[in-house]
Each structure stands twice: as C-alpha cells, then as structure tokens.
Chains A and B, each alone.
Chain A
Amino acid sequence: MEAGDTLPELAVTPDKYLTYRYAGASGDFNPIHIDEEFARSVGLPGRILHGLWSMAQVARAQTEAAGGPERLKRLSVQFRGMGVPEVELVVTSTVRELRDGVAVVDTEAKQGDTRVVRRGEAEIAVS
C-alpha cells in the first residue's frame, strides 16, 4: 500500500428487508428505519438506512482490502445524505499517506450522487 493507491471498491445493494435485519442485529429500532408511514410523517422519502450500517460497509471495505479485522485501527466518518434500501451503495477509498506502518485512507460511501458517508478517514496497520 502506497500513498495515492486506490483500494478495491466495495459495492453492495441493501435489499428491501435489510433495515429490519440490521435493526434486530444492532438493537436500533428507531422507526425511521423500519416504519414506512412514520418515516414519511417526519418528512423522509420512506424508510432510510441506519447510518451505522453504512459505516459498517466503509469498515468492511477497509478490512477486506487490508486482509483482516485486526488491521483496522481507527475509523471516523460524517453522515450526510439519507441512504435508502434497494439502491447500490459504493464505497471508495484512497490511501492519503503512510506513517509508522499505518496507512491513512480517505474513504466515502455513495448511492448515485448522494454521499451517505463522507469525510471518512481510516487507519489501517500495514506492517
């Protein structure tokens, strides 16, 4: 891994029922994720993805590129656009710099032109 390198892209399409499975797996049952009617009543287009599920896709792009979960040392992200089910989410990652056996990676996740996760910064052990 070197500065400027692009890590393999991760593309995943959350199916219609993903938000229910993730709610159960994570314990986050906020109705904006699982109740179509409620989501619309608060001005959303419909049920939206959990931000932390999208962050988990960003994390997975790093651990898969790095060769295992133990290599991911830090990940920080900002949440912006609303992620929605049944639309492909694409995670892109570029190595910004290497220092002391750690690659600092700029990463984000988009659905079409919507940045669901932006300003992601990961630290991956590369020694």
Chain B
Amino acid sequence: MGKIFAPVTYAVGREKVREYAHAVGETNPLHLDVEAARAAGHRDVVAPPMFAVVYCAQSIFPALFDPEVGLDFARMVHGAQEFAWGPLVVAGDEITTECEHTGVAERPGLRLFTFETRSVNQDGERVCTGTWTNIVREEG
C-alpha cells in the first residue's frame, strides 16, 4: 500500500497518435493532420485526451502484476476510471508517468484496488492524473 513504482517515459509518436485516433473514431483533424494541427498552433498532431491510456500503459500494467500488490488478474474487472488533464499532449512529447498503488478497499465479496498515475511532459507540466479502480471478485 502506498507503493510507488519506478517512473516510465513514453515518447509520443505521430503515427501512434493517428493510429489511436482512428481506433476510437476521432474525426477532428487536430488528431490526424499535421498541417491542421500546426495551423491551430500546435507543434504536431494532438493526442486525444484518452490517449492517456497509451502513455500510462507501461506504468500501470507492471503495477497490476506486482506480487506485493497481490491482485488476481484473472478475476479482475475494470471498475472505474478517472482522468484529469492539463496541457495537451502532442507528437514529439516525452511523457513520464509514475504509478502509485493507493489502496485496497474491502466490500462484501469484492476487493477494490486503486492506483494513481501522475504523468508529466518534458517541461515538467502535469498533463494527466489518472485514478484506476479495479475490482476483484472473491473466490467461491
């Protein structure tokens, strides 16, 4: 509890942003078209807000599997999710994310595991704070 995992840095690539934007059905040219993004004053294509799941992945996944956390992944479902966003993330940014295991709550037949991710860009600005709640059903 309270364990903080080593921060992981993710380099945001233009084609990854576009791939993600297509997969979630984004049509805003800011996410797809470099010229449109530049015309709007951005250095490169803009990551959709929910792209946070991509730059957080290498921080949150090891935490879910950490033996000290003790989460039975096979019985886990994603219960709730919150993101709070700061400045936009654009292709070319380097996002460093730290993950903390913030708690385990007991409910009848269930355990709720919560994690917080804190993501900053190369200028030290907080671009995203994530709260991840995973539910594990008790056996039997």
Chain B interface, number of residues (Cβ within 8 angstroms): 30
How many A-B residue contacts, CB cutoff 8 Å? Answer: 87
B24 is an interface residue with CB less than 8 A from chain A: yes
B48 within 8 A of A: yes
Binds B, one of A1-9, A62-70, A93-101, A106-114: A62-70
Q: For chain A, give the interface size range.
A: 20 to 34
Residues of B within 8 A of A40 (CB): none
- With known contacts A55-B81, A76-B82, A60–B23 Cβ distance under 8 A: no
- Whether A76 contacts B80 by the Cβ 8 Å rule is yes
Contact B78 A25 (CB under 8 A): no
The reply to whether A22 and B23 form a contact with Cβ atoms under 8 Å apart is: yes
Is B110 an interface residue when CB atoms closer than 8 A count as contact?
no
How far, in Å, is A53 (CB) from chain B's closest CB? 6
Does B11 count as interface, using CB distance less than 8 angstroms? no
Q: Which residues of A contact B82 (CB under 8 A)?
A: 74-77
Known A26-B54, A26-B57, A68-B30; contact A60-B24, beta-carbon cutoff 8 A: yes
Q: Are B49 and A79 in contact (CB under 8 A)?
A: no
| Chain B contact residues, CB within 8 Å of chain A | 16, 19-20, 22-26, 28, 30-31, 46-50, 53-54, 57, 77-85, 88, 131
Question: Which chain B positions have C-beta within 8 A of A72?
Answer: 49, 85
CB of B15, distance to nearest CB on chain A (Å) = 11
Residues on the B chain within 8 Å of A24, using CB: 19, 23
A52 and B49: CB pair below 8 A? no
In the assembled complex, how far is the CB of residue A94 from the closest CB belonging to chain B, in whole angstroms?
A: 19
Cβ–Cβ contact B22 & A70, under 8 A: no
- Whether the Cβ atoms of A57 and B25 lie closer than 8 Å is yes
B23 x A53 contact (CB < 8 A)? yes
Q: Contact string, A31-57, partner B, CB cutoff 8 A, digits 1/0?
A: 000000000000000000001110111
